[in-house]
Structure 1
Amino acid sequence: MGKNCTVSGTCGIIDNLEITDSVHITAGSLVTKSITKPGTYTSGTPLIEHSLWKRMLLPLKNLKI
């Protein structure tokens, strides 16, 4: 965890990750990979039925970000 970082409530951070300086993670986010660029990060979706969530997730796997 770098300097000047903020991790808001109910965040999850997977083990053995690196988070650079000046990173701010918003409430309820899940960090699954190292963060190497300073900035504000958010993840999460509203509560929906699991079957719908699985269908919505498939196209996201193919996005090139």
Structure 2
Amino acid sequence: MGILFVSEERHRQWQRFRRRTWLLIALCMFARGADAAFSLGLIEPTHQLAAQEVPACSANAEHRI
């Protein structure tokens, strides 16, 4: 038996782990995509830029230099 060989049971465990890991990654991507597509703001809140006030500097304001 060499260094790179594992038993059949260990091989099946790693396969199951890899499959479940990729399934979890796919589910997370689906959840993030659905959240972004429907603007739910559940995972990452969306910012409404148009609703924010932008402070304006009046022409009459005095500025120190």
TM-score bin, normalised by smaller chain: under 0.3
* Higher RCO (CA 8 Å, separation ≥ 6 residues): 1
The structure where helix makes up a greater share of residues is 2
TM-score, normalising length from structure 1?
0.22
- Please give the TM-score of this superposition, normalised by the length of structure 2: 0.22
